[in-house]
């Protein structure tokens, strides 16, 4: 074999080695980011924690005046879609304000599956859409991945919610919440006042 042929063969071998090294590094980087190195270029989320899935979710709450029928939108993701869809819960609580505090009552929980490739729109619960709620009724909304929230993960709204209340006043006790929104009551519901005790006793004229 001549020296030019030998040099050409060595150069080809070196190029092949560099190509393999570059491809291997790219695959490792992709796997580190959770993207499978396959023809579909999808993102593998099988090993993600609940917190990581919550971070991945894209959730928006349209303005009430702009979209009365859309309470929440699970939006499309800017990155590659997931190889397997994940379970997402969108839950609603009725927040009734009274002179003693605020009562939270779960009224609807919508379960869906998403891989981040297309948006999903969830409407308001019946009777709680804008224009249907009375002034003493508010609405708390939250979206999160996985199973339904347990009792120890729910917010404790013991103080009275006001029109100036924010989501900080209904903080959930879990890191699984991807997004939440509070539409606070406008006023407290009236409650009958306790009768004033008679200081003279029942026999006094």
Residues 132 and 56 in one domain: yes
> Hey, which of 7-21, 125-139, 150-164, 189-203 has the most confident mean pLDDT?
125-139
pTM of this prediction? Answer: 0.72
Residues 20 and 67 in one domain: no
Count other C-beta atoms under 10 Å from residue 33's C-beta. 11
Q: How far is CA 95 from CA 106, 118, 157, 167, 170, in A?
A: 9, 31, 9, 12, 10
Residues 117 and 136 in one domain: yes
Contact 70, 62 (CB under 8 A): yes
Concatenating the DSSP letter of every residue in 132-183 gives TS-TTEEEEEEEEESSPPPGGGS----SPP-TT--GGGG--SSS--SEEEEE
Residues 28 and 123 in one domain: no
For residues 106-119, average pLDDT? 95
Residues 62 and 123 in one domain: yes
Residues 55 and 110 in one domain: yes
Residues 74 and 158 in one domain: yes
Q: Summarize pLDDT for 190-201 with one digit per residue, the tens.
A: 654 444 444 444
What range defines the domain where residue 68 resides? Answer: 50-183
β-strand partners of 102: 97
Q: Summarize pLDDT for 56-101 with one digit per residue, the tens.
A: 999 999 886 555 678 999 999 888 999 999 999 999 999 988 877 8
Residue 59 burial (C-beta neighbours within 10 Å; 0-12, 13-18, 19+): buried
Residues 82 and 24 in one domain: no
Residues 41 and 56 in one domain: no
Residues 60 and 108 in one domain: yes
Q: For residue 195, is it within any domain?
A: no
Residue with the two structure tokens 């903080």? 171
Contact 41, 35 (CB under 8 A): yes
- Tally the domains of the chain: 2
Residues 20 and 54 in one domain: no
Tell how far CA 56 is from the center of its chain. 9
């Amino acid at each position: 074999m001549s020296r030019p042929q030998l040099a050409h063969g060595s150069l080809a071998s070196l190029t092949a080695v560099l190509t393999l090294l570059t491809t291997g590094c790219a695959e490792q980087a992709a796997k580190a980011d959770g993207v499978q190195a396959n023809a579909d270029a999808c993102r593998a989320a099988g090993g993600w924690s609940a917190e990581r899935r919550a971070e991945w979710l894209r959730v928006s709450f349209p303005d009430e005046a702009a979209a009365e029928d859309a309470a929440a939108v699970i939006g499309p993701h800017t990155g590659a879609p997931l190889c397997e869809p994940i379970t997402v819960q969108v839950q609603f609580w009725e927040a009734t304000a009274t002179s003693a505090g605020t009562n939270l009552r779960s009224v609807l929980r919508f379960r869906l599956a998403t891989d981040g490739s297309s948006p999903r729109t969830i409407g308001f619960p019946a009777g709680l859409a804008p224009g249907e709620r009375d002034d003493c009724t508010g609405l708390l909304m939250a979206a999160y991945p996985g199973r339904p929230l347990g009792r120890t993960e729910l917010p404790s709204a013991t103080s009275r919610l006001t029109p100036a209340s924010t989501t900080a006043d209904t903080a959930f006790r879990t890191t699984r919440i991807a997004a939440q929104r509070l539409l606070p009551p406008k006023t407290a519901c009236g409650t009958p006042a306790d009768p004033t005790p008679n200081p003279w006793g029942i026999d006094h004229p």
